[in-house]
Every structure is written in structure tokens, then in C-alpha cells.
């Protein structure tokens, strides 16, 4: 349903007269599916039990009967990332569950006010390295960002949720409230994305709410 809505929105935006070739339609389908797959890939990171009911992102072209498997660009460019996901998937396939790691004693660092300068094209910057120490133990978080609108921005939000799940105790719950914005035409798409995130992170103890 989410993929269908994304595809419909793209058609209305790019081809308002609904005149397009099969190739152009398939390009939009690939784009819509790729965006949804990014969301699912992040959910697998947040809660690995989602792998027990893993979704296959593929479709069949009616005219040629060709089956098309859709993959995200970052996984096509990063073989190690795809390999790690495959190994994790095989682990769940064999046992159905994953062995819990023994909890390591946590060391609370001394927190100080600091400024971090990120250079253009700098890699290795994570939400955990930026905010992890400062959000450790927090139960109520409000995130104000008016620019959560595009697929990569929702992916960033999921990565932020994954970081919260990593730093909190398993039995604890976190209330995360997001304040964002989108224009009236595209707000329904944002609502669909926020609702999917809300439903997905609930199982790991993150109570996600949002407003515009």
C-alpha cells in the first residue's frame, strides 16, 4: 500500500496528464520500491526480529513476464553491507532466533559542551558518536526538524531511532516526539512514512509521536 501511494504521488507530480511510457512507469516503480526498501533495511537494524518475516522487494513486468529485484543504491555500492545482511539473514533462517549478547558494564563518560565541525564528504560520522552519550538515560525526547520530507531524511530518522534503541536498556521505554513540516500537497506522504515508523519502533520500546 505504501509503495502504491508513493508511485501514485510520483505520477501525479511528474506526469500529471498520465501520459508515460512503460519504461518511464517502471523507473517510478523502482524509485518507490527502493525508498520503501530503505525503510525496511533500517527496521532490520533497529529490531532484528523483523528478519523473521523479511519482505522481498520485487515485481513482475506484465508485458515481458520478467521478474525484477529492486536493491538500494548504497547496497549495490557496498558489497560488505550486503554480505553482512545476508549472514544475519542466514543466522535467523537456521535458528529462528538470535543469541543474545551478554550485557557489558556501561561506563558513563564525563559530558562537556563541545563543538563538532564536519567537513564536506567526511565519512564515519554517526548519530551515536554525535548524540549517544548525551541521550543516554533520557526518557522524553523532542526532535524539531522541519526538513523530514524526502526518503533519505526519513532514513536518517530511522537511524536516529536505531541509535536510541542501542543506548537504552532493553526493558526501558523512550518517548520520542518529532515536530516537522511539509506543504499541504505532500503532507499525506509524510504521514504515511511517520505512521510506518511509529508502528515499527513500538515493538522495541520507542513511543513515537509527531506533529506538523
Instruction: Name the helix (H) or strand (E) containing 77.
Output: helix 73-77
The maximal CA–CA distance of the chain, rounded, in angstroms, is: 63
Query: The whole model's pTM is what?
Result: 0.56
pLDDT digit string (tens) for 16-42? 888 999 999 999 999 889 888 888 887
Q: What angle do CA 157, 148, 39 make, to 5 degrees?
A: 45
Alpha-carbon gap, residue 136 to 166, rounded angstroms: 10
Q: Which residues contact 165 (CB under 8 A, 6 or more apart)?
A: 46, 47, 201, 204, 205, 206
5 — pLDDT class (breaks 50, 70, 90): confident
pLDDT digit string (tens) for 147-188? 999 988 998 999 999 999 989 988 899 999 999 999 988 899
User: Domain ends where: 83, 100, 117?
Assistant: 100
Contact 34, 152 (CB under 8 A): no
Q: What angle do CA 55, 60, 66 make, to 5 degrees?
A: 125
Give the domain range for residue 55. 1-100
User: Domain ends where: 100, 115, 133?
Assistant: 100
105 — pLDDT class (breaks 50, 70, 90): low
Does residue 117 lie within any of the structural domains?
no
Does residue 69 lie within any of the structural domains?
yes
- CATH number for 166: 3.30.870.30
36 and 130 in a single domain? The answer is: no
6 and 41 in a single domain? The answer is: yes
* Structural domains in the chain (count): 2
Does residue 178 lie within any of the structural domains?
yes
Mean pLDDT (the chain) is 82
Contact 194, 210 (CB under 8 A): yes
Does residue 118 lie within any of the structural domains?
no
145 and 81 in a single domain? The answer is: no
Does residue 105 lie within any of the structural domains?
no
143 and 185 in a single domain? The answer is: yes
- CA-based nearest residue to 202, from 165, 159, 156: 165
Amino acid at each position: 500500500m505504501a509503495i502504491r501511494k508513493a508511485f501514485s504521488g510520483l505520477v501525479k507530480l511528474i506526469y500529471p496528464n498520465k501520459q508515460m511510457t512503460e519504461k518511464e512507469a517502471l523507473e517510478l516503480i523502482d524509485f518507490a520500491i527502493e525508498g520503501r526498501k530503505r525503510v525496511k533495511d533500517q527496521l532490520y537494524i533497529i529490531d532484528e526480529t523483523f528478519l523473521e518475516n523479511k519482505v522481498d522487494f520485487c515485481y513482475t513486468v506484465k508485458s515481458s513476464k520478467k521478474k525484477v529485484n529492486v536493491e538500494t543504491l548504497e547496497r549495490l555500492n557496498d558489497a560488505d553491507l550486503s554480505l553482512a545482511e545476508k549472514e544475519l539473514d542466514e543466522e535467523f533462517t537456521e535458528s529462528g532466533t538470535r543469541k543474545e549478547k551478554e550485557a557489558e558494564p556501561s561506563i558513563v563518560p564525563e559530558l562537556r559542551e563541545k563543538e563538532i565541525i564536519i567537513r564536506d564528504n567526511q565519512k564515519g560520522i554517526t548519530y551515536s558518536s554525535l548524540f549517544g552519550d548525551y541521550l543516554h538515560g533520557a526518557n522524553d525526547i523532542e526532535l524539531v526538524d522541519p526538513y523530514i520530507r524526502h526518503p533519505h531524511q526519513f532514513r536518517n530518522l530511522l537511524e536516529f531511532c536505531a541509535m536510541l534503541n542501542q543506548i537504552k536498556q532493553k526493558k526501558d521505554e523512550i518517548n520520542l516526539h518529532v515536530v516537522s513540516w511539509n506543504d499541504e500537497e505532500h503532507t499525506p506522504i509524510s504521514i504515511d512514512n511517520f505512521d510506518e515508523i511509529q508502528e515499527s519502533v513500538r515493538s522495541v520500546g520507542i513511543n513515537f509521536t509527531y506533529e506538523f
